[in-house]
Amino acid sequence: MTELSPDIRAELERQAIELPSWAFGNSGTRFRVFGTPGTPRDPFEKIADAAQVHRYTALAPTVALHIPWDMCDFDDLRKHAEDHDVALGTINSNTFQDEDYKFGALTHEDDAIRQKAIDHHFACIDVMHATGSRDLKIWLAEGSNYPGQNDMRARQDRLQDSLQQIYARLGDDQRLVLEYKFFEPAFYHTDVPDWGTSYAQVASLGDKAMVCLDTGHHAPGTNIEFIVMQLLRLGKLGSFDFNSRFYADDDLIVGAADPFQLFRILFEVVRGGGLNNPDVAFMLDQCHNIEDKIPGQIRSVLNVQEMTARALLVDRDALAAAQTANDVLTANAVFMDAFYTDVRPALAAWRESRGLPSDPMAAYAASGYQQRIAADRVGGVQAGWGA
């Protein structure tokens, strides 16, 4: 395929995918965190690196922050981001690293510890005011490892009470987005393990509370596109965390493990009105352990763009006709024809028509930026997961 239709080009031109600041810091496995030349030493350098992704793709205009990992003077950081033609995005809270949170945070039996976790989210909302961010994203590493260890129902009650207090602190134009995760680090039960629990919690809060769907946070074989459809149908899909996994929550480059799954997800996004919908944020949640970080993020946003283009190619009239006629094979063929279409030449030509490099990966590699930051950022403490 060498040319995209005007309608598809218009949709793709509006597409925006938020980058995570932590993707540019060092990360690794449970056995070791690996350092790499040029890794940012502070949030300002993370923003500068994220801006490179947007420069070569025009796909990544905002950068999510993690608190307290990205604590700094936020007025200065906001201006720094604007100088690099990007903006500050979602604020992510952290209640999984303090010693006090060993047995829970927003679900903790100790009122003082639970209040500490609530107060942390109040502080995150203050950061949102300073950065102009709309969304507060909450992921909770809370649960239990042994049967009988905790009262699971009481923990749900305490979670709801904690979220109610946080929700009440939000500004008029701010949202709470609750993420879920099948397991880890709790292995007997997790307090927010699935979309249904997240939905039940946020539905009790109000219209400004939504669900975040992380594509790696499901049991093997889960029909994620069904969940996408259902949350869009219910008006509660607030954001995606796009990544990929081969075993569990690997946080690999989106589309690496199952490109067809990514296509199916994005088709439901398109069909359900979630594409370029301001209420549905596209975000990445990835850690680049062995690959270079900036190219890893460039490849990630390009993968989302490519599968979005394929999803937009589905002949929905022909598909609907086949579905209505219960013509199983024709319906599947319509679907698969779009998936198998190679849109890369058309996307390359379209980028050039917009003044962008046809091959953003090659353009970044030729820019010399990676070599410059490797030379300039010698000394100091590199940023990393948890830093």
Count helices and strands in the chain by DSSP H and E runs:
14, 10
Q: How many Cβ atoms sit within 10 Å of the Cβ of residue 203?
A: 15
Looking at residue 354, its pLDDT comes to 97
- How far apart (Å, rounded) are the C-alpha atoms in residues 57 and 23? 17
29 pLDDT above the threshold of 90 = no
Residues 6+ apart with CB under 8 A from 384: 25, 26, 27, 33, 39
Q: Are 63 and 40 in contact (CB under 8 A)?
A: no
Residues 6+ apart with CB under 8 A from 338: 263, 267, 310, 311, 313, 314, 315
Beta strand spans in the chain (E): 19-20, 62-66, 87-92, 135-138, 143-144, 175-179, 189-190, 209-214, 237-242, 281-284
363 pLDDT above the threshold of 70 = yes
| Average pLDDT over every residue of 117-141 | 98
**DSSP letters of 25-77?**
SB-B-SS-BPP-TT--SSHHHHHHHHHHHHHHHS---EEEEETTTT-S-HHHH
Looking at residue 376, its pLDDT comes to 96
Looking at residue 240, its pLDDT comes to 96
Query: What is the rounded average pLDDT for all residues in the chain?
Result: 96
pLDDT bracket for residue 147 (50, 70, 90): very high
Reduced to 3 states (helix: H, G, I; strand: E, B; else coil), residue 203 is helix
| Average pLDDT over every residue of 263-280 | 98
- How far apart (Å, rounded) are the C-alpha atoms in residues 328 and 228? 22
Residues 6+ apart with CB under 8 A from 222: none
Which helix (H) or strand (E) covers residue 295, if one does? helix 293-313
Cα–Cα–Cα angle for 123, 126, 128, rounded to 5 degrees:
115
225 pLDDT above the threshold of 90 = yes
387 pLDDT above the threshold of 70 = no
Looking at residue 326, its pLDDT comes to 98
Please report the domains of the chain, with CATH numbers, ordered by start residue.
Answer: 8-314 (3.20.20.150)
Reduced to 3 states (helix: H, G, I; strand: E, B; else coil), residue 364 is helix
278 pLDDT above the threshold of 90 = yes
Q: 158-185 pLDDT, tens per residue? A: 999 999 999 999 999 999 999 999 999 9
Amino acid in position 137:
K
328 pLDDT above the threshold of 80 = yes
Which of 44-53, 192-201, 378-387 bottoms out in mean pLDDT, i.e. has the lowest? 378-387
- How far apart (Å, rounded) are the C-alpha atoms in residues 370 and 39? 10
Looking at residue 183, its pLDDT comes to 93
14 pLDDT above the threshold of 90 = yes
- How far apart (Å, rounded) are the C-alpha atoms in residues 266 and 269? 5
65 pLDDT above the threshold of 90 = yes
380 pLDDT above the threshold of 90 = no
Question: Percent of the chain at pLDDT above 90?
Answer: 93
Question: Percent of the chain at pLDDT above 70?
Answer: 100
Q: Are 19 and 32 in contact (CB under 8 A)?
A: no
Residues 6+ apart with CB under 8 A from 354: 13, 58
Q: What is the pTM of this model?
A: 0.96
Number of Cα atoms under 13 Å in the Cβ half of residue 49: 30
Q: How many Cβ atoms sit within 10 Å of the Cβ of residue 224?
A: 20
Looking at residue 386, its pLDDT comes to 73
| Average pLDDT over every residue of 10-27 | 96
249 pLDDT above the threshold of 90 = no
- How far apart (Å, rounded) are the C-alpha atoms in residues 94 and 45? 21
Q: How many Cβ atoms sit within 10 Å of the Cβ of residue 124?
A: 23
Residue with tokens 């763009």: 305
Select from 102, 108, 162, 157 the least CA-distant residue to 138: 162
1 pLDDT above the threshold of 90 = no
- How far apart (Å, rounded) are the C-alpha atoms in residues 140 and 137? 10
Looking at residue 30, its pLDDT comes to 74
- How far apart (Å, rounded) are the C-alpha atoms in residues 46 and 27? 14
